[in-house]
Structures are given as structure tokens and as C-alpha cells.
Amino acid sequence: MWRHVRRKEHSTDSKTVVVAKDWEITCYRAVPLRILSRVWGWVMSKQLPPSIRPLVYNYYASTFNCNLEEAAHEDLTVYKSLAEFFCRPLKDGIRPVSDIDCIVSPADGHVISFGPVNTCKVEQVKGITYSLQGFLGEPTWSSILAHTRKDHMNHDAVASSPPDYRQSLLLNKDTDLYQCVVYLAPGDYHRFHSPVQWDVMFRRHFQGELLSVNPKVAQWIPDLFTLNERAVYVGCWKYGFFSLTAIGATNVGSIHVYCDKELTTNQRKWKKMETRHQDSFLWGLEGEKIHMCKGQPFGEFHLGSTIVLLFEAPKSFKFHLETGQQILVGEGISDCRIE
């Protein structure tokens, strides 16, 4: 498999897209990555003797270029396990949240794709796509979202059995669908935050593979994001539909979302009735909507992975990003001055 990944890397200079063959994807999926990830998760959770913690963590930080000066606790003996070290919080104020941008980065990482979604195929990386409907699934949430936006909603877009899945996601007139993908490398800060002020109403947890989401692999396997385990969170922001998806990957022991205590990822097996996905309508302790503020902590990965944003915004919406650029939590990715 990796021979073909290297071939893909070399071919980028000639602008040739090398896509994995079906048999190659089948062989890759046959590797017991879920078992390996569960074993790695168990190893990560084991408590380390205090005497060796600085040695282990400094080695990891050196290997993956972690900035330990940003950690809330610079004393490395505080972190009892690799899992605690990977998910370490940062010092207060180290990631200021932009107040002049309507959307900020949900995570530290690299931007691998962004832009308008003009069809039901979404850019995974340049030249490679995934199915929008395969990624999100049936819009079970549409009725509750439409109810919350009934004063502004596009009635044609939310009609039953719409012919265009992309259009069915839009709640308002004169808007479009946009996307942004942020890849978290193993050395990045592993917590992710709310990119906007919004109400979270629905979660869909897809059972799936735990294939690598490294950009080199994403360039090789079409529909990679629809193959992997993922937690899709759907709701509304001031311009309509908004979703944040946390994608699992090889050696990601688990995905933990603070407002969703029932989410359990990387399970050994699912119940028979949950062979594809599990849906949950989310409400606060007293039945109210779950409201997230821009920059508010949302969840954490127990290693690196990927965050995908899909959202509705006015047709005049513009990103100010470059593909491949490094970005930090709270940094603006779009201009608030939308006409």
C-alpha cells in the first residue's frame, strides 16, 4: 500500500492524480486497524511511573515537534499517561479567539481543503472527492432545523424527497454550502473548539473504518471520509445549516465530545440494529438547546485526526485561507463583513 502512497507523492510534481484501485483499498481495509487502535488506546491509558514521564514525553515532543511551553502544566510529571499528555490543555489566553471573523479555526492543524460546495461531491483534497450524502447521511434533522428557522427558511429546499441533496441542507434563500477541512497531526494540540456561535441539535455516529487520514492517504483513496468512523454534529448558526464532524483515524483511541456524554467511539463491535450509524437528538439537562459559543471547547482526540466543517452562508461569503497553511485554534478563516 505505502508503495502506492509514495508513488502518489512523487506524481504530484507532474500534476498526475494516482487513485487507489479497488483491490488496494480492499486490502488496506482488511488490515485490523481497529484492533491495533484499541491496543494503542489501552497502551496510552496506562499510568507511567513519574520518573520516566519527562523522558517519554520529551521524546514524543521532539519527534513530533510539540511546543511544550504552551501546555497549562509545564511539569511533565503531572500527566499520568500518554493519553493525558496527548490531550493536555493549553495555558489560558494562549489561543485568542478572533472577534473580527465570523468563523474561526476549530483546531490546530493544516488546512487541506476549503471552498464552496457546488455539487454533491465534496473536495477531500485537490482532485479527490467524497460523497456529501454518504458523509452526512439522510437529513433526519431537517424538520427540527427548519422549525427553528421557519421565519427565514427556503421552503423549496426543505421539501420532502428533494432531488438535490446539497440543496436540501440549505435553510435560507440566497445562500450556498461551504466546506473546510483541518488535519491535526500527531504533534498538534489535540482538543478542538467550536468555530462559531451555534446551537447543536443532532449527532450522528457512523460506524466505520479507522484508516489513516494523513493528507497523502487522502490523496490516494477517494471517499476516505465516508469510510471512516466519525461523529457528525448538526445544528444552526446565524446563516442557517452548520455541521462539525470529528473523523476517527488509525491509532485514535477515542473521540470525546464534552456536550455528548453518550458518544462512545472505537468500540469492539456494535449492536446488530446499529450496523450503519446511531442517531441522537441533543438537548441540555433541562431540555434546552445546546448552545456553543465561538471558541468554546468542544471535544478532543486521543491522537491526531481531522475536523470537517460544512455550513450554509451567504453567496458573498469568502474564505481567507490557503491550502496547506498551518492554522491555530481561534484564528479567523473568513471575513465577518458579509454583504
List of E strands, the chain = 109-116, 121-125, 128-131, 175-183, 191-193, 198-206, 230-237, 240-247, 255-257, 277-281, 290-292, 297-301, 306-314, 326-327
pLDDT given at position 302: 78
Residue 260 is assigned to a structural domain of this protein: yes
Q: Are residues 249 and 140 both part of a single domain?
A: yes
pLDDT given at position 111: 96
Q: Are residues 209 and 299 both part of a single domain?
A: yes
pLDDT level of residue 148 (50, 70, 90 thresholds): low
Residue 283 is assigned to a structural domain of this protein: yes
pLDDT given at position 278: 81
Q: Are residues 54 and 192 both part of a single domain?
A: no
**Residue 129 in 3-state DSSP?**
strand
Amino acid occupying residue 322: E
Residue 138 is assigned to a structural domain of this protein: yes
Going by C-alpha positions, the residue among 86, 111, 328, 77 that lies closest to residue 187 is: 86
Amino acid occupying residue 197: Q
Q: Are residues 302 and 181 both part of a single domain?
A: yes
pLDDT level of residue 173 (50, 70, 90 thresholds): confident
Q: Are residues 165 and 268 both part of a single domain?
A: yes
Q: Are residues 197 and 74 both part of a single domain?
A: no
pTM of the model: 0.88
Residue 337 is assigned to a structural domain of this protein: no
How does the average pLDDT of the chain come out, rounded? 85
Q: Are residues 45 and 141 both part of a single domain?
A: no
Q: Are residues 185 and 246 both part of a single domain?
A: yes
Q: Are 34 and 266 in contact (CB under 8 A)?
A: yes
Residues in contact with 263: Cβ distance below 8 Å, sequence separation at least 6, in sequence order = 203, 205, 231, 255, 256, 257
If you average pLDDT over residues 216-228, what whole number do you get?
91
pLDDT level of residue 79 (50, 70, 90 thresholds): very high
Share of residues in the chain with pLDDT > 90 (%): 55
Residue 228 is assigned to a structural domain of this protein: yes
Q: Are residues 81 and 156 both part of a single domain?
A: no
Residue 104 is assigned to a structural domain of this protein: no
Domain interval for residue 291? 109-327
pLDDT given at position 12: 44
Domain count, the chain: 2
If you average pLDDT over residues 318-325, what whole number do you get?
93
The catalytic site residues sit at: 108, 193, 305
pLDDT given at position 161: 45
- Lowest mean pLDDT segment, chosen from 94-98, 212-216, 230-234: 212-216
Residue 338 is assigned to a structural domain of this protein: no
| Residue, of 115 and 274, whose pLDDT is higher | 115
- Lowest mean pLDDT segment, chosen from 69-78, 229-238, 258-267, 324-333: 258-267
Residue 131 predicted with pLDDT over 90: yes
Q: Which of 54, 86, 118 is the endpoint of a domain?
A: 86
Q: Are 104 and 210 in contact (CB under 8 A)?
A: no
| Residue, of 161 and 44, whose pLDDT is higher | 44
pLDDT given at position 274: 52
**Residues 297-319: tens digit of each pLDDT:** 999 987 768 999 999 999 999 99
